Amino acid sequence: MGDNRNKIQQIIEPAVGPVMDMVTGIVLDGTAGILVPGVGNLILSYKQQRSEKNLENFISQIVEKQDEFNEKLNKLDLEKLELITKHYFGIVTDYVLDVKQKEKIKYMVDGYLYLTDWEDIKEDLVLMYYDTLEELNLLDIIVLKSRTYKYAYDEENNKILNSLLPGQLHLILEKLHRMGLVDSKNSKIMDDNLQNIMQYLQDVEKQKKNTKLKLKRVSLNDSYSLTSYGKNFLEFFLEEYRK
């Protein structure tokens, strides 16, 4: 734990301004080197090391972006500055400590940076975004990005997509659909068909003339598009998506 605390101190040494005040609290409040309760020694050691490395990674990325952070933080009034650098910094740090894929920390930092621009911060919405990110793995995010025009022709993105096993892409897209990040054209057709069937049965019961059942054919190859939540999610966590 002492080594971790020393590493954190070295990482935050170049920090200045509001970022320095924010990240220094990591050492002062004992977050660096905190133990994970309720697990066996072997699991404890693994989780402890992962959490420590995650924290180092997180703080390092914030310090690297401190010019951007300080520029935004210096424009805030004291109440909002306190809210961002204390309350929401703690919330994001909690997610960072538990993340299993370190590459996702970049998204967490980008989301936190984007949060500083919000005029009216709603905690439930912030938690929903980070909870959603927590449920996604890196491959899920790549597939989600592929639904946008910006990444549809991205060579690196497509290389990964082309390496997927048969059926894997469909499973991921279905997961994204269940989470409300993408819309399924077939699901929309089936919903419309269900409505048409219900309307047809009502018309038959009322003995209306010329009653016809109109059903659309479901395609063998479903297509998926971003929902408004999917777009907002990418905008929140991907700095390059906002450009």
Write out pLDDT tens, residues 144-174.
999 998 888 888 888 999 998 888 999 999 9
Q: Let me know: does 24 contact 15? Beta carbons within 8 Å.
A: yes
- Number of residues that this document lists for the chain: 243
Q: Is 183 strand, coil or helix? A: strand
- Give whichever of 35-44, 101-110, 197-206 has the largest mean pLDDT: 101-110
Are 131 and 95 members of one domain? no
Q: Let me know: does 137 contact 155? Beta carbons within 8 Å.
A: no
Are 81 and 130 members of one domain? no
Q: Is residue 111 part of a domain?
A: no
Q: Kindly report, residue by residue over 227-241, the tens digit of the pLDDT.
A: 999 999 999 999 888
Which one is predicted more confidently, 195 or 40?
A: 195
Among 47, 74, 102, give the residue marking a domain's end.
102
Give the per-residue pLDDT at 83: 95
Q: Using 50, 70 and 90 to split pLDDT, how confident is the model at 23?
A: confident
Alpha helices (runs of H) in the chain, residue ranges in sequence order: 2-12, 17-28, 41-64, 66-73, 78-82, 89-98, 105-115, 123-135, 138-145, 149-152, 155-162, 168-178, 185-205, 228-237, 239-242
User: Among 52-56, 128-132, 199-203, 222-226, which stretch is predicted with the lowest mean pLDDT?
Assistant: 199-203
Give the per-residue pLDDT at 35: 46
Is residue 40 predicted with pLDDT exceeding 60? no
Are 127 and 242 members of one domain? yes
Q: Is residue 151 part of a domain?
A: yes
- For the segment 99-123, the average pLDDT, to the nearest whole number, is 96
Give the per-residue pLDDT at 68: 95
Task: Tell me the average pLDDT of the chain.
Answer: 84
Are 239 and 129 members of one domain? yes
Give the per-residue pLDDT at 41: 58
- For the segment 17-35, the average pLDDT, to the nearest whole number, is 67
Give the per-residue pLDDT at 46: 79
Give the per-residue pLDDT at 242: 82
Q: Is residue 110 part of a domain?
A: no
Are 61 and 176 members of one domain? no
Are 16 and 98 members of one domain? yes
The DSSP code for 221 is S
Q: Is residue 170 part of a domain?
A: yes
Q: Is residue 144 part of a domain?
A: yes
Residue 158's alpha-carbon distances to 85, 102, 103, 153, 230, in angstroms, are: 38, 22, 19, 7, 19
Are 76 and 129 members of one domain? no
Domain limits at 65? 2-102
Are 231 and 146 members of one domain? yes
Among 70, 102, 134, give the residue marking a domain's end.
102
Q: Is residue 115 part of a domain?
A: no
Residues of 5-37 as b/e, b for ≥16 C-beta within 10 angstroms?
A: bebbeebbeebeebbbebbebbbeeebbbbeee
Q: Is residue 112 part of a domain?
A: no
Q: How many domains does the chain have?
A: 2
Are 143 and 84 members of one domain? no
Rounded-to-integer distance, Cα 20 and Cα 66, Å: 9
Q: Using 50, 70 and 90 to split pLDDT, how confident is the model at 2?
A: low
Give the per-residue pLDDT at 222: 59
Q: Which of 12, 62, 53, 52 is nearest to 32 (CA)?
A: 52
- For the segment 208-226, the average pLDDT, to the nearest whole number, is 70
Are 26 and 72 members of one domain? yes
Are 19 and 92 members of one domain? yes
Q: Let me know: does 111 contact 133? Beta carbons within 8 Å.
A: yes
Which residue type is seen at 42?
A: L
Q: Which of 193, 112, 197, 182 is nearest to 141 (CA)?
A: 182
Dihedral pair phi/psi, residue 220, rounded to 5°: -70, -30
Residues of 165-175 as b/e, b for ≥16 C-beta within 10 angstroms?
A: eeeebeebbeb
Q: Let me know: does 112 contact 105? Beta carbons within 8 Å.
A: no
Are 237 and 134 members of one domain? yes
Q: Using 50, 70 and 90 to split pLDDT, how confident is the model at 218?
A: low
Which one is predicted more confidently, 54 or 38?
A: 54
Q: How is residue 214 written in tokens?
A: 């109109």
Q: Is residue 189 part of a domain?
A: yes
